[in-house]
Structure 1
Amino acid sequence: MLSANKHAARVPYPESLRSIMSIRCAEQSRQWLSQWRGIAHGATPLRALPGLAARLGIAWLGVKDESQRSPLGSFKALGAPVALLRQVLRLHPGFEPEAVLAGRYAGTLKDYTVISATDGNHGRALAAAARDAGCRCVIVLHAQVSVERERAIADCGARIVRIAGNYDASVAEAARLAAAHGWQVVSDTSYEGYEDIPRDVMQGYGVIASELVEQADGAAGDPPYTHVFLQGGVGGLAAGIVSYLWEKYGARRPRFIVVEPVQADCLYQSALAGRPAGATGTVDSIMAGLACGEASPLAWRFLQDSVDDFMTITDDAAIEAMRTLAAGDCGDVPIVSGESGAAGLAGLLVLLRDRALAGAAGLNAASRALLISTEGATAPLVYEQCVGVPAASVLSRQQKWRASVDTAGISGCRAKTAC
């Protein structure tokens, strides 16, 4: 399903939003994170897929591969650590930012406890950051979070609390535990009276956009992409990237399309209602990172006037997209993209199979589409069940592909092969 956002506007980035999230703060976050051992040095790859683009009939297709962001295998390594760091600095303004995640204040922070609900990746990132900073971490998991993801979070030193409900129930339980014990919630979704930390999480995601601007070689002042496909969830990732690119390009910004599971369509419903709304489905999707029932009100403030289209996809469409990226068809580089990571490609494939939908989304032979693969095989067994082969096999073929091509001078979004 595709719904055009009647409130989308081609205007300069509003000052009211700049006061909340800005390029300046995103760059500050990028600098601080560059000193953390839990994150890769340098930008994640922007991989061009010229073969798939040609098969689909568009001018260019690229994937920002966030599986390479850190050992966590997810873009969430950007959000929770920044939020934890900024919260610590609010409590201890004299601390040196780069020293917090290096553990230099562990003695001071040893009795400080942070807590969050998660579908997996956010909790793992928060647990890793808390471990390195020297504070305690409690993670609340709902019934649909896999045992694999639970173990990965526990391995980062977090205490795990399991509940029987869905993601929204885990958010409520995290808030209850925090109030009962005096712990600090570090969540990627906002609610009444709780916006500073979700804003910091979203600001961390702006690092992705910062790298994309550097990696692009479009005409001066113009965006190098006509379309940017972004995962839904509560809206945090989309808001973080939209904020940066909207401020950078103003009224010339690319077309933003948000994709989410049909059974977790809170942003789609928010667009229809013109305000933050809840999902109409079961909120039980294989796309665990996007299985959210309520839109973040703070994220919605950035999305309501900037996202041009909201769409929903099925789990089967996501699995097909995972397999397409893993196969590396048409001579393209094979890519490991998890269930939520492949959602953008799933949305693009759905649109391009229907001439009317493609036209409604402004997709044609001149389109240059950007996807964000937000995660790799963060749940390896789930990935293998979906794709039919283990992630290690795909990575082996990726290494062979890279060894077989001359990558000298390949960068940016006009590359003929992957970088």
Structure 2
Amino acid sequence: MFLPNRNALHGRPLDAADAEILGIGGADTVERFLARRDNHLTTPLHTLPALAGELGLAALHVKDEGFRLGLGSFKALGGAYAVFRLVLEEASKRLGRSVDVGDLDRPDVRTVAATMTVACATDGNHGRSVAQGAELVGAKAVIFVHAGVSDERVAAIARYGAEMIRVDGNYDDSIRQAARIAAEKGWTVVSDTSWAGYERIPGLVMQGYTTIVREALRQLSEPPTHVFVQAGVGGIAAAIAGHLAIVLGETRPVFTVVEPARAACVFGAAKAGHPVKIAHGEATVMAMLECYEASPVAWRVLARAADAFMTVDEDDAIAVMRRLARPAGNDPAIVAGESGGVGLAGLIQAMAGHRTELGLDATSRVLVVNTEGATDPRRYAELVGMNPEDVLAGKVLSQAKP
């Protein structure tokens, strides 16, 4: 499915609150926080000339978030960052003085953090980030996971000391239960989706994602003409589209949101003109994108800053995983999880059927984001036919060639 953005808000400036969150000042704040992380490194930007040539493009670049902060996903930027901000705000309030990121290891700040419990629902990656953030600052974390979250992903979260609670149903069911129990217990919900009266914390999560596009713009010799980014509830797509709209203005790239056909909640919002709850059917292999209602704050940005919405099928996502693992020519090998290559899958489909609507041609420079590596290695090996370690070993060899 393909839908140009026909919303009346399309092309208009972001709301002032969203522009503040996703603008230059917000991105500066995120970078200041990241500078304090021991394992913070700029993630790679890969150039794929062979695939670009096959598709008839001037250039194709993949921003690879599979290496982000040791968590293997772009989500490492959002949940942990929001936890840090919330702990510092609470410490400033209780201690009666300004507390900044450099104070996170101070005994009095950690004493405050130890009294705090953060909670969230997750498909896997966001909960891992929240749990890691809580462990780093000395807070407690309670993570709600639905029935479709694999045991491997649950174990990866639990390693950070989080209490894990299984919920019957899907992601949206886990969101509701997390919010209800957190309200009863006095915990702080750190969600990557918003709802009425709850927007600031999801906004902070989105603010963390601005680092991805800021790094990419620095790594590119010139800005992209087109960007394809996948969406679950819409947070990363909104963060990237919003930041691009702010920093590039009239020269911003054509931005396309890509989703699984089985869980296309942002597409549903685009069709209806506002967030709607879509029907839950058969589960999608793109597990990290299996969401059935778009985040209102993310939709508010995308209604203005996205140019098109599209969906891809199960086979499209798997085919991209395999293609990135076994590249042609001198293209590097890339480990992309089940949801990681969905933006690229959208580009491939667009070149086959929607290039005219999007203005894609031989002069186009396209940016996509590999949002996750093999966060479930066993599942990755089942789908790709190779272990992620072997793919990365091939990557090292290909880069070593003269």
- TM over 0.5, yes or no? yes
Change (3 A) 1:79 1:16: closer
1:246 aligns with 2:245: yes
Q: Residues 60-96 of structure 1: CA distance to partner in whole angstroms, max 9, x if unpaired?
A: 1000000111211011110011111121222222322
Deviation at 1:263? 1.0
1:80 corresponds to 2:79: yes
User: Offset at 1:106?
Assistant: 2.2
| 2:156 maps to 1:152 | yes
Kept after mapping to 2: 8 A contact 1:59/1:367: yes
1:112 alignment partner in structure 2:
116
Q: Secondary structure at the match of 2:232?
A: coil
Larger displacement relative to structure 2 (345-354 or 309-318): 345-354
Which residue of structure 2 aligns with residue 167 of structure 1?
171
Shift of residue 327, structure 1, vs aligned partner:
0.6
1:26 aligns with 2:10: no
Equivalent runs, 1:239-388 vs 2, <5 Å? 239-282=238-281, 284-354=283-353, 357-388=354-385
Aligned-residue CA RMSD (Å)? 1.6
Matched, 1:2 2:8: no
Query: Structure 2 vs 1, CA of residues 102 and 119 (structure 1 numbering), >3 Å: closer, same or farther?
Result: farther
User: What SS does the aligned partner of 1:228 have?
Assistant: strand
Query: Is the contact between residue 325 and residue 334 of structure 2 (CA under 8 Å) also seen in structure 1?
Result: yes
SS of 1:282's partner is coil
1:185-244: CA deviations, max 9, x gaps?
0000000111110000000000111111211222xxxxx211100111101001111121
Query: For residues 249-291 of structure 1, what are the alpha-carbon distances to aligned partners after superposition, in whole Å with 9 as ceiling and x for unaligned?
Result: 1122101000011111110011111111222442721111110
Residue 131, structure 1, aligned to residue 135, structure 2:
yes
Point out the more displaced range, 91-100 or 26-35: 91-100
SS in 2 for 1:91: helix
CA distance in structure 1 between the partners assigned to 2:365 and 2:22 by the alignment: 27
Give the CA deviation at 1:328: 1.5
CA distance in 1, matches of 2:144, 2:212: 27
Q: Structure 1: which amino acid aligns with 2:27?
A: A
Give the structure with the larger helix fraction.
2
Pick closer, same or farther for the CA change 1:255–1:103 going to 2, 3 Å.
farther
> Is the contact made by 2:179 and 2:189 (CA closer than 8 Å) also made in structure 1?
yes
SS of the counterpart of 2:266?
helix
- Alpha-carbon contact 1:114-1:138 (below 8 Å) kept: yes
Q: In the alignment, which residue of structure 2 is the partner of 1:45?
A: 44
Quote the offset at 1:386 in angstroms: 0.9
**Across the two proteins, how many residue pairs are aligned to each other?**
396
CA distance in 1, matches of 2:373, 2:307: 27
Taking the aligned partners of 1:9 and 1:234, their CA distance within structure 2 comes to 19
The offset of 1:326, in angstroms, is 0.7
| Distance in 2 (alpha carbons) for counterparts of 1:183 and 1:105 | 18
Q: Using the TM superposition, give the Cα deviation of residue 100 of structure 1 relative to its aligned residue in structure 2, in angstroms.
A: 2.2
1:140 aligns with 2:144: yes
Query: How does the TM-score come out when normalised to structure 1?
Result: 0.91
Partner-residue secondary structure (3-state), 1:105: helix
Distance 1:248-1:132 versus aligned 2 partners, 3 A rule:
same
- In 1, distance between residues paired with 2:13 and 2:185? 44
Aligned with residue 390 of structure 2, among 390, 393, 414: 393
> What residue in structure 1 maps to residue 69 of structure 2?
70
Q: Which amino acid aligns with 1:195?
A: E
Distance 1:157 1:139, change over 3 A: same
| Mapped partners of 2:106, 2:356: distance in 1 | 50
In the alignment, residue 184 of structure 1 is paired with which amino acid?
A: T
SS of the residue corresponding to residue 17 of structure 1 reads: helix
Query: Is 1:176 aligned to residue 180 of structure 2?
Result: yes
When normalised by structure 2's length, the TM-score is 0.95
- SS at 2:193's partner residue? coil
Q: Which amino acid aligns with 1:364?
A: D
Give 1:27's aligned amino acid: D
User: Counterpart of 1:221?
Assistant: none
Instruction: Identify unmatched segments of 5+ residues in structure 2.
Output: 93-97
Q: Secondary structure at the match of 2:262?
A: coil
